[in-house]
Amino acid sequence: MSRFEIYSPEGLRADGRRWNELRHIKCGINTHSKSADGSAVVEMGASKVVCIVQGPQEPETRSRVREKATLSVSVTVAPFSTTERSKHVTNDRRLQEMSANLQNLFEEAVLTHLHPRTEIVCSLTVIAQDGGLLSCCINAMTLALIDAGLPMYEYVSACSVALFDQTPLLDPNNVEETELASVTVGIVGETDKISLLILERRLGLDRLPPALELGVEGCKVLRQVMDKEVRRHGAMRLASRAE
């Protein structure tokens, strides 16, 4: 059982945040410029994901030659990413499912038809886990794809929302995720329309709308944060070219 109150009557969460607060977000773009075409690191609180993008390039297998560019996504979890070092790191199915979800989501945002008969390889590495794993991956992938110079309709941003009774809690950490049911919401661009919605624990239907609303707002803020980082990085590059 949790040692702390998950959400106190005074409106504070176990880590001192209020219901509508994101954790601190740190993102970096073009972090691994030598090893990849595009790269990014996203930290949401204590969760940290590195994404590396290669491509568009010639597909390794014939089956991936299509009229549109093929997105291949793989997720690896570092064994030291959790509190207790896990022995069976390859929790295959869960990660494979996550990869498939990422791939489906980004096919919507990336203009894949501009690069027929190519493959875009995205490798995500989870460095640290403290809740919001999927959203962290999505955000990192967006930045890395932008860094790789791939044409996209808009930013893809995601965050999760946990529900404490009727109160939605934005961007839950690991403690909150184990105690409460949570949904991950992802949007493409600055819109109220939800592109990705993943829920894996039982949740009353009537408690869903407030969570969706807060999740969408959270995504919009994340989009701004990412946009700022992209513009900062862009300005820096422009500046260096000007020299």
Partner 1 sequence: MSSIEQAFVQSLLEDQKRVSGRRLNEARKLELAFGGSYGHVEVKMGRTRLVAQVSSQVAKPRDDRPFEGLFLITTDVSSMASPRFENGRQTVDELMVTRLIEKAIRRSNALDLESLCIVAGQSCWMVRADVHYLEYDGGFIDASCIAVIAALLHFRRPDTSIDGSRTIVHTLDERPPVPLSVLHVPICVSWSFFDNDIIVVDADEAEQDLRIGSMTITINKDRDICQFTKAGKIPLSSQQIIECCEQAHGRAREITDLIHEKLKQDFEKRNRGNMGFDLAENDR
Partner 2 sequence: MLVKRASAQSVNHKVFVRSTKAGNAVKVYREQYLRDDIPCGSQLCTLCAEISVPDAKGDFPVPVLSSAPNSTTKRGPHYVVIDTNVALKAIDLLEHPGCLYDVIVPQIVLEEVRNRSLPIYARLRALTAGHDKRFYVFHNEFRSETHVERTPGESINDRNDRAIRRVAKWYSEHLAKVKKAPQVLLLTNDKKNLELAHKDGINASTLHSYIAEYKDSGDLLDIIPAEESFTKESQTQIYPNYYSSSQILAGIKNGFLHQGKLQISRYNYLEASVHTEAYPKPLLVIGRESMNRAFDGDKVVLEILPKSKWRSPLNNIADEENVDANIAAENDDGQAIVTDEERSILAKDALNAQHHEKVQPTARVVGIMKRNWRFYVGQVAPESVNDKIDSGALRSVFFVPLDKRIPRIRIRSRKPQALVDQRIVVAIDDWPVYSRSPQGHFVRALGEIESKSAETEAILLEHDIEYRPFPKAALDCLPQEGHDWKPGMNDPLFEKRRDLRDLLICSIDPPRCQDIDDALHARELPNGNYQVGVHIADVTHFVKASTPLDAEGALRGTSTYLVDKRIDMLPTLLGTDLCSLRPDVERYAFSVLWELDQNANIVSVEFTKSLIRSRYAFEYEEAQARIDDASQQDDLTKGMRALLKLSKKLKQKRLDAGALNLSSPEVKVMTDSETSDPSSVELKNVVDTMSLVEEFMLLANITVARKIYDAYPQTAMLRRHAAPPATNFDILNDQLRLRGQPQIDLESSKTLADSLDRIQDPNDPYFNTLVRIMATRCMMAAEYFAAGNFAQPEFRHYGLASEIYTHFTSPIRRYADIVAHRQLAGAIGYESLHASHYMKNKLDGICDNINMRHRNAQLAGRASIEYYVGQMLKDNESLQEGYVIRVFSNGFGVLVPRFGLESVVYLQDICNPDEAELDEDTYTLKIMQDGKSRSITVFDTIKVFVKSVKDNKGKRQVKMLLG
Residues that bind partner 2 (CB under 8 A): 1-5, 8-12, 15-26, 45-46, 83-84, 130, 165, 167-168, 170, 173, 175, 178-180, 201, 214, 217-218, 220-221, 225
Kindly state the smallest distance separating residue 10's Cβ from partner 2, in Å: 6
* Contacted by 155, from partner 1, partner 2, none: CB < 5 to 8 Å by type: none
- SS3 label, residue 81: helix
* Contacted by 187, from partner 2, partner 1, none: CB < 5 to 8 Å by type: partner 1
First vs last C-alpha separation in the chain: 59
* Contacted by 146, from partner 1, partner 2, none: CB < 5 to 8 Å by type: none
* Contacted by 3, from partner 2, partner 1, none: CB < 5 to 8 Å by type: partner 2
The sign of the dihedral angle between the CA atoms of 54, 59, 61, 66 is positive
By CB under 8 A, residue 175 contacts partner 1 = no
The C-alpha angle 185, 189, 194, rounded to 5 degrees, equals 30
Of residues 17 and 220, the one with the C-beta less far from partner 1:
220
Of residues 117 and 189, the one with the C-beta less far from partner 1:
189
Strands 47-57 and 70-77: unpaired
Of the candidates 108, 133, 115, the one whose C-alpha atom is nearest the C-alpha of residue 193 is 108
Give the other-Cβ count within 10 Å of 201's Cβ. Answer: 11
